[in-house]
Structure 1
Amino acid sequence: MKKLLFVLFSSCILLPSFANQAKTGDLQFIQNNGQWNNKVELKADVYGGTLFLEKNCLTWNFSTISEVTQHTDHPNTSNTNNTVKGHAFKTYFLHANNNVQIAGTEKYSNYYNYFVGDDETRWKGNVPAFAKVLYENLYENIDATVYSSDGNIKYDFIIKPNADVSKIQLQYEGLNAIQIVNGNLELITSINKIIELKPYAYQQYGDYKIEVICYYKLNGNIISFEFPNGYDVNTELIIDPATLIFASYSGSTADNWGYTATYDADGNLYGAGIVFGTGYPTTTGAYEEEFVGGTGFFACDVGISKFTPDGTDLIYSTYLGGTKNELPHSLVVDSADQLIVYGTTASDDFPTPTGTYDDTFGGGDNITVTSVVEFASGSDVFVTKINAAGDAIIGSTYIGGSENDGLNIGETGYNYGDHARGEVVVDIFGNCYIASCTKSSDLPTTSGVVQTDIAGDQDGFVAKLNNDLSILTWCTYIGGGDNDGVYSIKKAVSDEFIVCGGTESDDFPTLPSALNPDYLGGDVDGFVCRLSGDATSFIGSTFIGTDQYDQTYFVEVDDEDNVYVTGQTKGAYPVTAGVYTNPNSSQYITKLNNDLTSIIYSTVFGTGSSNVNLVPSAFLVDNCKNVYFSGWGGSINVSYGSGFGNTMGYTTDLPVTGDAFQSSTDGSDYYFIAFEKDAGDLIYATFFGGSSTQEHVDGGTSRFDKKGRIYQAVCAGCGSSDAFPTTDGVWSEDNGSSNCNLGVIKFEFNFIGPNADFVITPEFEGCEPFTVEFDNNSEFADFFDWDFGDGGSSDLEEPTHTYTEPGTYTVLLIASDPEACDPVDSAIAIVEVYENPQVDFTIGPDSVNIYSFATFSDFSEGAVSWYWTFGDGSSSTSQNPTHQYLQEGNYTVCLTVVNEFGCSDSACFPIEVFAYSLLDVPNAFSPNGDGYNDFYSPVLFSMVSFELSIYNRWGELVFYTTDPELEWDGTYNGKEQEMDTYVYIVNGEGDDGKKYFDKGNITLVR
C-alpha cells in the first residue's frame, strides 16, 4: 500500500509567524532571551517585515528583499535587480510608565533555538513563543495587549475604572506621512501603506457589550483617542483599534528556499533551508542597500525545523549561521536523536564552541550561487551537531583551506542545485563522515590517506570527525587533474566506505581491475570508490558512464555489501537483460559487486530521450533489495541548463503505475519511482506536485528510511501558489510566502513488510499495580507477539497487562507477515512502574476532650506531601498537624501521602471525642483599650449555673454576674478601678452534675 503520510509547507522554518498563521491564523511573538538587540522584548514576523516589541515603543522594519531573492527564469545568471529598499518606523507610547511590565501570554508548544554568530552568550535554546503580549501598567491603570488575527497585528488598550484615557498617546517616528481617511489611520512609508482601521471601543456589563463611540485624534505625528459622547468612567473600557492591514505593498516576505530533509528513529521529520530576513533597524525612515545574498544587513542563515511523525505539530525551529551566508547541504540523525547538519558558510563568525576541531574560517574567492546567495569572502564547509531537543550545540566546526570549500562549481555542477551537493552520514558511535568538494590546496588532510594533495582545480574530499566534532580523524582528497566532486558516502557492511560523484579528470584514481579503469569520454564521467575504513587505500574504484555526459549522484549498499548507484547519462548507458527499462532514457540505476569490478544489473528509466528529465534527490535500497529513487525536473532545470548550453527535459511522459498517487504532471514536478529486487519490474511510480508550479529543490539531500518512507524537501509553491498538494491537519497547509516556500513530504511506499508500532494507554509510567492497554498501530502485519518485560506475554493484537511490582520494563512487540519479503518488524517501549509510599501515623491520644487538641504524628515512608481529613469536614496538608474538635462523637481520621512519582497510599483510624464540664479562671487582665485582654471572665464549658463575685482589697464588691457572656471591663459604677490585686469567688455546676468552687486573686494592670 502506498500511503501519503503528510505534506506541508514549512514556512515556519523561515517565517515562524506565517507557519503558525497557516494553522491557527495567529502570529507568534518570540521572546528575546538575549539572541537579539537588548532593546527588544519580543519579535514577530509580519507580512513584508518584522515587528520588534520594546518597552516604550513598537519598531517596524519592512523591505523589498523578496524582489531580489526570488527564483529567476534563468537562475544561472546574475540578478541585476539587487537593490533592496526598506523602511523602518517606530510607534512610541508617549509618556508611558518607566516600570511597565511586558510578558508573553498564551504560550505555544513549539520553541525556537538560535545559534547565530560565534558569541556563545548569544546562543539561546528553548526560546518560547506566545500568541499575545501584555503591556501591564503601560500608563497608570491602563494596560495594552498586542496580538494578531488572520496574520494581522492587533492591539487593545484596557482602561481600568477611573483611569485617565487621555494619557494614551502614540507618537510615530520615521513615516513619510500619517493621515486619517474615513476614520481609518493611514501610515505611509516609502514602500508600503499600513492602515489601522477605525477604532472600536466598548464596555462590558455582565453578558452585555456596549459600544462606546471612539475616534482617532491626530495632532502632528501624535495619535490619541476621543470619545464625543463620553463613557462610564466607573467601568473598565476597552479600546480596540481594530486591525493593521498591510496594503499596496511593493515587496513581501522573503522566500523560503528548501534544501534538505531527514528523519529519526521515531519518524519525526527534519527540514532545512535558508532564511532571508530583516534585522533590527539602527535608524528610522527609508533606506536602500545593495543585496549581496546575506552579507551584512540581510543575513541569510540556515533554518531547521523538526515536525512530529504525522506532521501536525512543529516541535522546534532552529536558526544557525553567522553574519554572512550559509547553505545546508545534508542532514542526518544519530542514534542519540542528535541532528547533524553539513553545509557551507561564508561567515568568519559561524558558531563554533570552545574545544571544536577548527574555529577559524579559511576564506576563498567571491562567488554567487542561485543568482542571489553570495559567498563574498569565500566558503568553508561547516558541520554542526545539535542535541535531541534542538536547544544546544554538541559540536560545530569548520573544515576547509584558504580557497573555496564545499561548493560544487564547474562542469560537475550540471543541474540547478548541484552547487549544494555532498552528504553527511554517521556510524553507531556518532562519528560523522563528510563527502564534499574543495578548491583548497591546503585542506587539512591527514598522513597516510589515499591522496594528501589536491590534483586539479577542484577535487572531492571525504573526512571523518569524532562524535563531538573536536577531532578530525582522517581527511583525504579524491580527484584527478581536472574538476571532481564527491556527492554521496555510505558505510559498507564491513568497516569500509563507498563514495560516488562526478569527474572531468581522465586521470581520476581507479584500479586496474575496475569495471571501467579508464575515462569513458564526454564532459563528465561518474565514479564510485570503495575506501578502507581509515581512508588509506582504495579497495575498488571505477568510472561509471558512457562516452557522453554522465554523473553518479547517490550510492547505497545492501546487506551483502553489493553497491548501487544512480545518476544521469546522455549516452548509451549499459542495460542488462531481464530488467525493467525505458530505452534511451537519461537516468540510470546500476548494481555492482562489492569490489566494483562487474555489473550485477543495470537499467535506465525516463522518457526515452537523451535530455535529462530528473535531478536526483534521494535514493534507497531497502532490506528486500527494492530500489527507490526521488527526483525532480522541469522548467527550473531547463532554464538553468540553457544558460550553459545543456538541454534538459521535463517530467512529461515519465512512466507511472496504475495506483499512482498523482498520474498527471504539468512538466515540472517531483517524481518517485520504485523497482523490485534486481530491477525486474517497476512496482510503483508517481508524480508529486502542483498543477501550475515548478516544484524543485535548491540542492542538498533528502532521504528514504529502510522501510521505504521518503522524507523529501521541496522548494514548493513558487509564485505564491498554494497549488502544491498538502494534507489536512498538518502544521502549515498553505504557502505563507509571496514566492516559494520549503515544503516537506513524508510518503510511504511499503513494499517491504510489517511496520510495528504501538502506544500505551493511559501513559508509559504509573504506580504499582499499573494496568496498561497496548494500542497497536502496526501496519501490514498478520501476527503479533508481545513480551511485557516482566515474564508476561501475549499474542493478542491489543492486550492489557498489569505490572504488580515496581521497576523498569522493556516491552517488545514483534509484528509479522510470513508472506512479506521482510516478514518481521519490532518496536519497543519502556514502561516505568513506581513504588507506592507506605502510609503510617498515630493519634495522641486516641480519645480527646472537645476542649483539647488532638495530635497526629506521621511515620510514613517515601512521602513528600500529606493530606489529612479529620472526619468533621476539616483537613490539613501539614505533616504533623493538631486539631480541635468542637462536638463530641466518633470520627474517622484519614491520611493520604504522595511520593515524588505521584504515587499515593492511604490509611484511616478512629478517634473518640467526648465532652465534660470545665471552669477555668484567669488571674490577670489589662483593660487599657489596646484590644488585647481588655475584659475579664472565666472560661466555661458545659455549665448549667454560674456565679462570679469580684472584691477590691477593702472587701467591697466591684463586679457580680451570673451571665457567662458578661465580662468585667475593670470599672465600678462607671469609674476605672486602680491597678491592684482583686479577689474573685466563683461558683458553678456542670451539666454532668459536677460542683465547682474557686477563690483567688486577679491582677488588674493597665
Structure 2
Amino acid sequence: MRKFTVAILTVIAFLSPFLLHAQMEFVENKGQWHSNVQYKGSFNTGAFFLENKGFTVALHNAEDIANVAAIMHGHKADGSANKAVATMPADGKLKVRSFGYKVRFLGASEKLGSIPDKALPTHNNYIIGKDSSKWGSNCRVFEAVTYKEIYPNIDIRYYSQGGILKYDFIVKPGGNPDFIAMEYVGPKSISLKEKELVIATPVGEVKELYPYTYQSGTGKNEAVDCKYVVKGNVVSFKVGKYDPKSTLIIDPSIIFSSFTGSTADNWGYTATPGPDGSLFAGGISFGTGYPVSPGAFDVTYGGGPSEGNFPGYDIAIFKFSANGARRIYATYLGGTGNEQPHSMIADAQGNLVIAGRSNSSDYPALNNFGTGGLYDIVITKLNATGSGLLGSVKIGGSGDDGVNIRPKYPVTSPSAVSLRRNYGDDARSEVIMDGSNNIYLASATQSTDFFTRNAVQPAIGGAQDGVILKLNSNLSNVLFSTYFGGSANDACFVASISPTTGDLYIAGGTESANLPGNKTGVIGPAFNTSGTVVPDGFVTQLKSDGSAITRTTYLGTIGIDLVYGLKFDKFGYPYVMGTTTGNWPVVNATFQNPNTKQFISKLQPDLSGFVYSTVFGSGTSVPNISPIAFLVDRCENVYVSGWGGGINDSQGYSTGSTSGMPQVNPLTGIPPADGADFFFFVLERDANSQLFGSRFGQNGGLGDHVDGGTS
C-alpha cells in the first residue's frame, strides 16, 4: 500500500476582539462584491474576503462598535455603573472607524482552484441598489473553502473552530513549506510577541496564534516544531524536523456557543428546544441586517416608531441545528409597529408557538379579539420550516397588555418598582401546551376592557392584573380568557400543567392582599407585610377548562418575593423558583447556602406545605441573578439559569452580581469572571446536594444578559 505524507501548518487568526464568531459562513460571490472576491465571511466587527492568491481583512474599531451598541441598547458601554452613559453625537451621526489590509501569497500558482465544502441548506440574496449587475441571487453558503495547489503540493483550507477563524496549510508529499510566504499590505507594523504574530492596525491589534503543526502516523498526533519568521512585511515559517513517511490528520470540532450572524443590532429574549434537539432563539432586531433565510415567512424588516433613543424593532426568530453549527431558518415577525417575543414552545412536529406583545396595527394576526390599544398580546404559530403561519392571534384592550408595570424604555426612575425588579421584568410571561396542543398563556394587563370569555374573574381588580388564556391549537378560538388579581398590582409570570390531574397552575407576583381562590389549609393563606407593601409570590390552581379556581397560596417573607419558575415532576408535585430579599424558609433540605436570596421549593400538589425548600447564592442581601429558565428532569433534579450584575446595576435595579455564586464542576476555558455573567445551577433530587454550578460569559463589555422573556 502506498503511503501518503501530509504536513499541516495550522495558523489561527485570532482577531482580538474582532473574529469572535462561533461559526463563520463563507458566501460565494455572484457579482454582489468586487470581482477579486470569491467568498466572503462576516464576523461581529468586520469581514474576511477570500481571493485567488490571498485574502483581505476589513476591520471596524471595537470600541466604536461597542459604543454604537451601547447607544442603541440604552445603557453604559461596558454595563458598569461607574462610566458615562453612551449618548448620541450632537450631529446625530454614528461614526465607526474602519481599516482594511491584504495578505498576498508571494510566488503562488496562477492557476488555483477553490473547493468549497460543508454547504449549508440555505442561500443568501443581495438585491441592493438600482444596478442589477451588482445583485447576487441564490448565493450558496459554505462552512469551509479549500484552495488547491497554492504552491506545489500545498493546499490552504479556511474554516472556523470554537469561535476562531483558522486557515491550514496542508503540505503533501513533495511539498516544501519553505515556499510559503505571506506579504501583509496595509498594517502599521508586524511583530512577534511570545511566538504569536501581532498585526498592528489603526483600529486595533490582530493576533495570529502560535502556528501549531503536527503529524499523525503512529496512532497519535505528534507535534512538529514550527515558528513564524518575519522579514519586513513578509511572514514565512521555519519548520523543524518531521517524518516524510507519516500521514497527518486534522479533525476540527465545533463548540455550540453561537451568534446569529446578524449585522443589525439584535437583543435576545427567549429560547426553547425543538423535538429533534434543535434550538429556537427569539429576540428583536433593529434593522435590515438580520440573516433571514430564503422562503422564510417574513424576510422584510418592518420596524416601528422609536422608543427613547432606539429605532423600531421586529421579532426575530432563528432556528439552530442540534449541534449549533447550522441555521435551519431565520425570519422576522411583525408589522409596522414594534413587537417582542416573551416565551416560545415547540410541538412534537417542530411547529413553533411564539407569545409576546405588539403595538402594530398590521401585525400578521389571522384572528383579533378585543378592541386593541397600546401594546397587545400576540401569539403566533409558525410551521416547522418557518415558511408560513399555522395560526396567529392578537388579543387586547385599550391599555397596555403583555406589559408588566411599564416598558423598559425609555428609562425612567426608579427602575425597580412594584413587580418590576429586574431589567427585562416588563417582558415576563409564559406560553405552554397540553397533550392536545391547546395553548395556554400567563401574562398581565392594564386594560379595563381586556377581552374575556368564560372568565372566572371577568373584571379587572387593580391597576394591573394577571391574565390567563387558553386557545385551541390553531389559535382560531379563545376557549377561556380571564383576569386574575386583587385590588393592587398582580402579574402572572409562569404556567405549568399537572401530569396527574391535568389542572393548570399559574405563578407570579402580587401586591394584593385579596387574591381570588380558596386559601384554607395552604402554605401562605395571607399576604405577608411588614407595614410596607412589597410583593409576594403566589401559586394558584385552576381547572384546565378555566371553570374554577381550586386554591391559591401566597409564597413570601416580609421582603420582596417573586416566583419566576414553575414546573412539575412526573409524579405531579409542583416546584417553584424565584428570588427574595427576606429569609426564605429552608425545609427538609440537606443542601443550602444559608442567608442567600434565590429559592427552590417543592410543594405538595394541594399547596398545603413544602416537601422541601432551600436557597442558594453568594450571601448578599439582595438576589444575585435575574432568573430566566427553570426545569425539573425525569430524575427530579432541578435546573436554574439566570444572569446578574451589569445592566441590572447600571440601570438602578439594586441587585447583586454573579460574583461568589457557588460553583461545582464549573465550565473551563471561558474568559475570567467580571460579576456580570450568566449562571447555571443544578440541584440534586430532594435537595441533597448541588450537582453543578458555573458562570458563563465574556469578560467586560455590556455584561451578559437577556432583555426579557422566559425560557
Same fold? TM cut 0.5 = yes
Report the equivalent of 2:598: 587
1:589–1:507: structure 2 CA closer, same or farther, 3 Å change rule? same
Find the residue that maps to 1:463 and give its secondary structure.
strand
2:708 is matched with 699
Superposition pairs of residues 503-902 of structure 1, within 5 angstroms: 503-513=510-520, 514-521=522-529, 522-640=533-651, 642=652, 646-658=653-665, 660-661=667-668, 665-693=673-701, 694-702=703-711
- What residue number does 1:496 align with? 503
Indicate the residue corresponding to 1:129 in structure 2.
124
What is residue 444 of structure 1 aligned with on the other side? 451
Aligned equivalents of 1:258 and 1:673: distance in 2? 21
- Which residue of the other structure, out of 263, 284, 297, is the alignment partner of 1:274? 284
Q: Give 2:391's match in structure 1, choosing from 387, 390, 395.
A: 395
Distance 1:456 1:686, change over 3 A: same
Structure with the larger strand share: 1
Cα 1:690–1:481, aligned 2, differ >3 Å: closer, same or farther?
Answer: same
Q: Distance in 1 between matches of 2:586 and 2:398?
A: 43
Please state if 1:455 is matched with 2:474: no
Check conservation: 1:29, 1:129, Cα contact below 8 A.
Answer: no
Deviations, residues 37-84 of structure 1 (Å, cap 9, x unaligned):
xxxxxxx999999xxxxxxxxxxxxx9975641240389999974985
- Please say if 1:309 is aligned against 2:325: no
Distance, in Å, in 1 between the alignment partners of 2:492 and 2:318 is 27
Residue 450 of structure 1: CA displacement?
A: 2.1
Q: Give, in whole Å, the separation in 2 of the partners of 1:533 and 1:137.
A: 57
Alignment deviations for residues 897-939 of structure 1 (CA, whole Å, 9 cap, x no partner) = xxxxxxxxxxxxxxxxxxxxxxxxxxxxxxxxxxxxxxxxxxx
Alignment of 1:42-53 (within 5 A): none
Deviations 1:347-396 (A, max 9, x none): 1110123xx254x7711xxxxxxxxxxxxxx2001000000111001111
Aligned-residue offset at 1:299: 3.6
Structure 1 residue 665, shift from structure 2 partner: 2.5
Contact (CA 8 Å) 2:636, 2:685: kept in 1 or not?
yes
Q: Is the 8 A contact 1:361 1:398 kept in 2?
A: no
Equivalent pair of 2:519/2:551 in contact (CA under 8 Å): no
1:346 corresponds to: 359
Q: Judging changes above 3 Å, is the alpha-carbon distance between structure 1 residues 579 and 397 closer, same or farther for their aligned structure 2 residues?
A: same
Instruction: Give the deviation of 1:134 after TM superposition.
Output: 14
- Offset of 1:454 from its aligned partner? 0.4
3-state SS, counterpart of residue 69 of structure 1: helix
Change (3 A) 1:25 1:614: same
Counterpart code for 1:362: G
Aligned residue in 2 for 1:196: none
Distance 1:395 1:490 in 2: 22
Q: Deviations over 1:722-760 (max 9, x none)?
A: xxxxxxxxxxxxxxxxxxxxxxxxxxxxxxxxxxxxxxx
Q: Which structure 2 segments of 5+ residues have no match?
A: 1-18, 33-40, 47-64, 96-115, 143-185, 187-261, 290-302, 406-416
After superposition, the C-alpha distances for 1:488-531 in whole angstroms (9 at most, x for unaligned) are: 00111222111100011111224232211110125110001111
Change (3 A) 1:525 1:315: same
Residues 281-316 of structure 1: per-residue CA shift (max 9 Å, x gap): xxxxxxxxx995379995410110111100111111
Cα deviation 1:777-831 (Å, max 9, x = unaligned): xxxxxxxxxxxxxxxxxxxxxxxxxxxxxxxxxxxxxxxxxxxxxxxxxxxxxxx
Match of 1:855 in 2: none
Could you tell me which amino acid in structure 2 is paired with residue 549 of structure 1? Answer: I
Is 2:25–2:141's contact at 8 Å kept on the other side of the alignment?
A: no
SS at the partner of 2:601? strand
Separation (CA, whole Å) in 2 of partners of 1:638 and 1:387 = 40
* SS of aligned partner of 2:577: strand
**Equivalent residues of 2:510, 2:537 under 8 A apart:** yes
The residue type paired with residue 502 of structure 1 is G
Paired letter, 1:267: G
Unmatched runs of 5 consecutive residues or more in structure 1: 1-17, 32-43, 50-62, 88-104, 112-127, 151-183, 185-251, 280-289, 364-377, 703-1006
Structure 1 window deviating more from structure 2 (418-427 vs 507-516): it is 507-516
Q: Which residue in the other structure is 1:70 paired with?
A: 73
Q: Secondary structure at the match of 1:23?
A: coil
1:565 counterpart SS class = strand
CA contact (8 A) 2:304 2:312 kept: no
Partner of 1:430: 437
Judge conservation of contact 1:27–1:131 (CA < 8 Å) in 2: no
Task: Tell me how far apart the structure 2 counterparts of residues 582 and 30 of structure 1 sit (CA, whole Å).
Answer: 61
Please name the residue that 1:411 is paired with. 418
Q: CA deviation at 1:604?
A: 0.7
SS state at 2:686 partner? helix
Matched-pair contact (CA < 8 Å) for 1:484–1:504? yes
> What is the rounded CA distance, in whole Å, between the counterparts of 1:28 and 1:318 in structure 2?
23
Structure 1 pair 602–578 and aligned structure 2 pair: CA distance change class (3 A): closer
Please tell me whether the aligned partners of residues 580 and 682 of structure 1 are also in contact (alpha carbons under 8 angstroms): yes
SS, match of residue 426 in structure 2: helix
Secondary structure class of the residue paired with 2:24 = helix
Structure 1 residue 433 displacement after superposition:
0.6
Query: Are the counterparts in 2 of residues 26 and 131 from structure 1 also a CA contact under 8 Å?
Result: no
Q: Is the 8 A contact 2:506 2:540 kept in 1?
A: yes
* 2:345 counterpart SS class: strand
Distance 1:429 1:550 in 2: 34
Structure 2 CA distance, aligned partners of 1:612 and 1:629? 14
Evaluate the alpha carbon distance shift between residue 576 and residue 109 of structure 1 in structure 2; reply closer, same or farther with a 3 A threshold. same
- Report matched runs for 1:356-371 at 5 Å: 356-358=367-369, 362-363=372-373
C-alpha contact 2:427 2:709 (8 A) present in aligned 1: yes
Q: For the residues of structure 2 that align with 1:79 and 1:561, how far apart are their CA atoms?
A: 50
Q: TM-score, normalised by structure 2?
A: 0.63
Give the 3-state SS of the residue equivalent to 1:433 in structure 2.
strand
**In 2 relative to 1, CA 456–136 (structure 1 residues): closer, same or farther, beyond 3 Å?**
closer
Deviation string, structure 1 residues 545-576 (Cα, Å, up to 9, x no partner): 10111000110111221110000000011001
Measured in 2, the distance between the counterparts of 1:618 and 1:137 equals 47
Distance, in Å, in 1 between the alignment partners of 2:378 and 2:444 is 12
